[in-house]
Amino acid sequence: MIDLSHIEACRESNRLEAKLAAGGLPESLWETYSAFANTDGGYILLGVRENPDHSLEISGLADPEGMIEQLWQALNDPEQVGVNVLTREDLYVLEEEGRRVVVMEVPAASARQKPVYVGPYVLQGTYKRSGEGDYHCELTEVQQMLKEKERLCRQKP
């Protein structure tokens, strides 16, 4: 669980990403979702700004519950996301000094779920996380995930 009371001391990392989301769901959110799911998981904070000095600051959201519903719809739309690895409990609102933030607690996907990709095309929409950045997976990385998934699916559960 994230503690917003000391958010200014946090920095984006391989397990934490901040998105202002003032104008709605940012497109880059989905790349981060894919990247976290395909690596070690992580937290995406919506309604949090990254300042020029890389410190984080809560800006808050006007309708976080509405944003959660938008997220849930997109996560279950195969045109938007190839695999939904979240449960309802992984999307929640935290409040600090009257400002509300949506938290997406993205778990690491199992080998049976990978690759987690965005959009309709697995090769173009699969990302991984390195440091504080999201990067397209190489063709060989996607092929390796697909091969492992196929191997596991052939085994008995």
- Strand, helix or coil for residue 54: coil
- Contact between 21 and 46 under an 8 Å Cβ cutoff? The reply is yes
34-42 mean pLDDT: 97
pLDDT reported for residue 68: 97
Q: What is the 3-state secondary structure (H, E, C) of 87-108?
A: CHHHEEEEEECCEEEEEEEECC
- Which domains does the chain show, CATH number per domain? 11-154 (3.30.950.30)
Average pLDDT, the chain: 93
pTM across the whole model: 0.93
Query: What pLDDT, in 10s, does the model give residues 3-23?
Result: 888 888 889 999 999 999 988
Query: What pLDDT, in 10s, does the model give residues 49-101?
Result: 999 999 999 999 999 999 999 999 999 999 999 999 999 999 999 999 999 99
- Contact between 20 and 48 under an 8 Å Cβ cutoff? The reply is yes
26-51 mean pLDDT: 96
35-59 mean pLDDT: 95
- Please check the confidence at residue 157 and state whether its pLDDT lies above 70: no
Give residue 132's pLDDT band: very low, low, confident or very high (50, 70, 90).
Answer: confident
Give residue 109's pLDDT band: very low, low, confident or very high (50, 70, 90).
Answer: very high
pLDDT reported for residue 154: 83
C-alpha angle 68/21/90, rounded to 5°? 35
